[in-house]
Amino acid sequence: MSQSRRASFVVRVVQDRRGQVNGVIERVATGAKEAFSSTEVIGEVILRMLGHEGPLSRTGSSAPASGERRPR
């Protein structure tokens, strides 16, 4: 049986008048914060904050959200 762990994050996003997005991701338990400058890297930042070196595999068969790409 695999063990799982839960982590909570606060994602603060700002979109400027030109449509560019940036913000900060905060890991609730530790208070660690990391800035990002595009939506494409939000998942990578969270994985890095969790201590993963590579992508996690998806479970289930749900389709990606609008505009989201499936991991390769």
pLDDT in tens, 29-67: 999 999 999 999 999 999 999 986 544 444 433 334 444
Q: Is 40 among the domain residues?
A: yes
Q: Is 2 among the domain residues?
A: no
Is residue 24 within 8 Å of 36, Cβ to Cβ? Answer: yes
Domain total of the chain: 1
The pLDDT value recorded for residue 66 is 40
The token pair at 21 is 């997005």
Quick one: pLDDT band at residue 1, thresholds 50, 70, 90?
low
The pLDDT value recorded for residue 3 is 79
Is residue 71 within 8 Å of 62, Cβ to Cβ? Answer: no
- Structural domain harbouring 43: 9-50
The pLDDT value recorded for residue 15 is 96
pTM assigned to the model:
0.65
Quick one: pLDDT band at residue 72, thresholds 50, 70, 90?
very low
Q: Is 36 among the domain residues?
A: yes
